Chains A and B, each alone.
Chain A
């Protein structure tokens, strides 16, 4: 079982360019999440989705957008990248939200914005 896959593994992006980070899960989980992880800080929630067709804002949503057209895919888009978006991005999923279901993480995308 693949679990959660993310692409690309890493990327260097020029400031002002747009980019979509891909996330796909095969566990049929209803809930999906996007986090960023920066040195010295805890994981910070960017956006989440309780179920296909719905999305919500997390702690640090500015500069990012998401969509959830189906259960499996949850892409994260940076419309116009800035250097402060340099980070490691993790996608995660859980069976549901509103409970204490364990979150399972993808391998991450390391993004550098120059």
Chain B
């Protein structure tokens, strides 16, 4: 079966750095997405990785290792507004998006 694993919840301090991990087992791989979802709102696109390595976009970076079936989202200089759920999703061989359950990130002052 297809599976995406993420930690359920993480806590971090304002101004710090946090890494949210995602491991996947899917039938084929055509890319990995990270989305942010604030409570009661819609998911919004953060990043996309299809090749191994690190993609940096401001305070957010996303890393992919296809051989390990592993990705992480790195958030630097955490702000209170970063409190949200972070969803990992993989595009399989049929170009269907397989979603993880999301990681709820709690930022403390």
Q: Could you list which residues of chain A lie within 8 angstroms of chain B, going by C-beta atoms?
A: 40-45, 58, 90, 97-100, 102-108
Whether B63 is near chain A, meaning CB under 8 Å from some CB there, is: no
Question: Nearest Cβ in chain A — how far from B83, in angstroms?
Answer: 18
Residues of B within 8 Å of A, CB-based: how many?
Answer: 23
- B31's partner among A58, A98, A100, A105 (CB-CB below 8 A) is A100
Residues of A within 8 A of B100 (CB): 42
Q: What is the chain A residue whose CB lies nearest that of B31?
A: A100
- What is the predominant secondary structure among interface residues of chain A facing chain B? loop
A-contacting 9-mer, from B11-19, B43-51, B53-61, B66-74:
B43-51
- B101's partner among A40, A97, A99 (CB-CB below 8 A) is A40
**Can you identify 11 A-B contacts, CB atoms within 8 angstroms?**
A41-B101, A42-B98, A43-B97, A90-B43, A98-B95, A102-B48, A103-B97, A104-B45, A107-B41, A108-B41, A108-B42
Residues of B within 8 A of A45 (CB): 96-97
